[in-house]
Amino acid sequence: MQSFRTELENPIIEKDIIDLEKKIRAFREGKIHDEKFRSLRLARGIYGQRQPGVQMVRIKLPFGKVTFKQLLRIADISDEYGSGNLHLTTRQDIQIHYVSLDRTPELWAKLEQDDITLREACGNTVRNVTASPTSGIDPLEPFDVSPYAHATFEYFLRNPICQEMGRKFKISFSSSDADTAFSYVHDIGVIPKINNNNERGFKVLLGGGLGAQPILASIVEEFLPEDKLIPYIEAIIRVFDRYGERTNRNKARLKYLIQKIGLEEVLRLAKIEQKAIKVKSYPINRDTVPLPAIPEQTTYAEVNISNPFRYEQWLATNVFEQKQKGYFGVYIKVPVGDISTGTARELVKVLQPLVADEIRITQNQGLLLKFVRKEALPALYEGLAKLELAAPGFDSVADVTTCPGTDTCNLGISNSMTMARVLEDLIYNEYEDFIYNRDIKIKISGCMNSCGQHGLAHIGFHGSSLKAGTKVLPSVQVMLGGGTVGHGIGRAADRVIKVPSKRATDVLRALLDDYKEFSIEEETYHAYYDRQGKDYFYRLLKPLADLTTLTDDEFVDWGHQETYVSAIGVGECAGVIIDLVATLLYEAEEKLGWANQSFEAGAWADAIYHSYNTLLSSAKALLLDKSINTSTQAAVIREFDANYVEKGEFDIQGSFNDLVLQINQHEPSEEFATAYLAEATEFLNKSKTKREALVQ
């Protein structure tokens, strides 16, 4: 572990990694509670697997951008520390599996040498900021959103306001009104706009989310000027941090806070925060994400196309002309999002002379290549074909999105990866004409959570189980009618019927045969679904739900040989909350340390927010001594006043509410940071004294 300390140039990153190493050691020695440590490692991209003793490491790639050098670095890391496989996610990350916890600091340090981070890839943080993969080359885009997504990523990384929220927070940037980054299912989703004065801005959507209960976002701004976007996001996050649920993680997303107190109240509270936020205007440097270097034009050798029919299909479904005339974007369909490290290295060799040095991971677990000359397309196709990466039908019915399911995830109920492969094979073998259909999306998740995005699918499946007598068999919930409409409007899929997993192929056949036979010419699947109605599809599929005709094979899940057993672990998607008094006071001391460090660095806003968290952690610790559990920070403030201040058990001037909420009444100046830090220090010291007296 000593090597990275001299190789890393950034002292902030070096400190982060050293801190992780120390925390792992303290955890091994029993000095940190298991649940507290889980929260800490999740915020550093380290996620427990279904298999005991190993971790999944999630690599955070802002808006899915990765260079050739970075991809090769990640492949090397996967070989050295993981299983030799790279898994592309629906949030444009790359995941490595089967990693030893003790080796994660070293792994992280080696990734950082090529500017790749794990920080805040999981946990109760601002997750990876996603964007349309076509941003920068999209013929429909008003402007490239990549610099804005990058600025958002940078601004909130390590930002004190979003390190320990009640749950995760997701932000997306779509490149156009086509909304290919799904703004309508994000906490904040934005779509670029240019007003009548030729000024840049964004349509803003708020409070969307998938999960077990999909809720569609509301349009809250038709045009927010570009320099106001990051301050706006900060204000919303501050409200979510203070008022969001912290006990019941199933209700701990922004969408539920909006449900609880109302959209107008959330927006009113966000306006109150405007005074306290670090910046009132945040101009974006539009040059931070330059267009990638394009290979010098060369004379391309004549290529003999091995499969002319497949090549024409590939050109029709996987290739499009960029807004930069004369250049083409090329999609790579990656089955179930898995690429072996050997294939990744060979892929880079194929790409280097033919495409620009920038790959984008797509939301359906594929890859997008940029700036390919027309003359280079035959050589590119043949190179991809040799790697079995030239399948046509990108983002079509034949391109099934899936999460890892029971292969590695604790929450998986049934297998999704093998099912996805089987359904794709079915399309290619029985419904080849559907590889041209980009209207219908098929998406699979291994459980009711929407990591595979089944909630926004036209045809979706999520893992479940059914009882047949005394036995349990793997099943899928069939979801229909979801998907993107455009302009920030989307549809959540309806739950229609539950059937045994092995009958998913029959479900798909029934749905596609029905659509082919009864849809009107050029009728979209949404229009067809609405015309027929949910009950029509329930009756269509009902025979497949008949459990009196089960065969022995249906008690064995896809990709398995043994009889199915429903086994769900503890999910870590959102981290956990640890309600131990001593731990909370320890955390308060740690936060006060961060406040002092920020203050010494002249980061007044950060020092203020760390001081705020010091006050909250101290108060929550004392409330727990009275067995008072609180589910929001606002409740901590209210209950501390009621149970300590008003009863004369804790001596402060005025109320705790007035003390704490100075944070949104003052500009983040040096003067206020000085006073607030001093008050937080005094409050923590009094809390520790009070705690010692209570223990004695």
Q: What is the CATH number of the domain that holds 379?
A: 3.30.70.3340
Report the CATH number that the domain containing residue 451 is assigned in CATH.
3.30.413.10
Helix (H, G, I), strand (E, B) or coil at 369: strand
Q: Which residues pair with 373 in a beta bridge?
A: 327
Of 555, 589, 612, which residue constitutes the final position of a domain?
A: 555
Q: Are 452 and 538 contained in the same domain?
A: yes
Please check whether residue 116 is in contact with residue 73, taking contact to mean a CB–CB distance below 8 angstroms. Answer: yes
Q: Are 539 and 442 contained in the same domain?
A: yes
Is a pLDDT exceeding 90 seen at residue 360?
A: yes
Is residue 492 in some structural domain? yes
Q: Strands (DSSP E) along 398-440, which ranges?
A: 401-402
Per-residue pLDDT tens for 326-356?
Answer: 999 999 999 999 999 999 999 999 999 999 9
Select, from the ranges 85-99, 447-461, 621-635, the one with the highest average predicted confidence (pLDDT).
85-99
Q: Are 226 and 347 contained in the same domain?
A: no
Is a pLDDT exceeding 80 seen at residue 408?
A: no
Q: Are 193 and 256 contained in the same domain?
A: yes
pLDDT of residue 564: 65
Is residue 297 in some structural domain? no
Listed as own residue / partner, the contacts of 594-598 with beta carbons closer than 8 Å and 24 or more positions apart are: 594/160, 595/677, 595/680, 596/677, 598/160
Report the CATH number that the domain containing residue 46 is assigned in CATH.
3.90.480.20
Please check whether residue 373 is in contact with residue 297, taking contact to mean a CB–CB distance below 8 angstroms. Answer: yes
Q: Are 103 and 136 contained in the same domain?
A: no
Is residue 393 in some structural domain? no
Structure tokens at 60: 């955070």
Structure tokens at 647: 């009863």
Is a pLDDT exceeding 50 seen at residue 604?
A: yes
pLDDT of residue 36: 76
Q: Are 528 and 451 contained in the same domain?
A: yes
- Count how many Cα atoms sit within 13 Å of the Cα of residue 173 in the half-sphere of its side chain: 34
Per-residue pLDDT tens for 10-56?
Answer: 888 998 899 899 989 988 988 887 777 888 888 899 998 888 889 99
Is residue 544 in some structural domain? yes
CA nearest 291: which of 114, 130, 132, 146?
A: 146
Of 86, 112, 138, which residue constitutes the final position of a domain?
A: 112
Q: Are 333 and 257 contained in the same domain?
A: no
Is residue 291 in some structural domain? no
Q: What does the alpha-carbon distance between residue 281 and residue 626 come to, in Å, rounded to a whole number? A: 44
Per-residue pLDDT tens for 421-439?
Answer: 999 999 999 999 999 999 9
Q: How many domains does the chain have?
A: 5
Report the CATH number that the domain containing residue 615 is assigned in CATH.
1.20.120.330
Q: What does the alpha-carbon distance between residue 129 and residue 139 come to, in Å, rounded to a whole number? A: 22
Is residue 677 in some structural domain? yes
pLDDT of residue 566: 60
Q: Are 633 and 687 contained in the same domain?
A: yes
pLDDT of residue 124: 92
For 342, the domain range is 308-386
Per-residue pLDDT tens for 451-509?
Answer: 889 999 999 999 999 999 889 999 999 999 999 999 999 999 999 999 999 999 999 99
Q: What does the alpha-carbon distance between residue 531 and residue 692 come to, in Å, rounded to a whole number? A: 68
Report phi then psi at 548, rounded to 5. Answer: -80, -10
Q: What does the alpha-carbon distance between residue 544 and residue 477 come to, in Å, rounded to a whole number? A: 12
Of 273, 288, 322, which residue constitutes the final position of a domain?
A: 273
* Helix and strand element counts for the chain (H, E): 21, 22
Q: Are 201 and 105 contained in the same domain?
A: no
Is a pLDDT exceeding 70 seen at residue 695?
A: no
Is a pLDDT exceeding 50 seen at residue 398?
A: yes
Q: Are 92 and 143 contained in the same domain?
A: no
DSSP assignments along 613-639, one per residue: HHHHHHHHHHHHHTT---SSHHHHHHH
Please check whether residue 212 is in contact with residue 596, taking contact to mean a CB–CB distance below 8 angstroms. Answer: no
Q: Are 415 and 536 contained in the same domain?
A: yes
Q: Compute the average pLDDT of residues 509-528.
A: 97
What average pLDDT does the chain have?
Answer: 93
Is residue 296 in some structural domain? no
* DSSP 8-state class, residue 293: P
Rounded to 10 degrees, the C-alpha dihedral 101/103/105/109 comes to -140
Residue 456's alpha-carbon distances to 266, 402, 537, in angstroms, are: 25, 13, 17
pLDDT of residue 298: 78
- How buried is 345 (Cβ within 10 angstroms: 0-12 exposed, 13-18 middle, 19+ buried)? middle
**Confidence tier at 646 by pLDDT (50, 70, 90):** very high
Q: Are 77 and 157 contained in the same domain?
A: no
Is residue 419 in some structural domain? yes
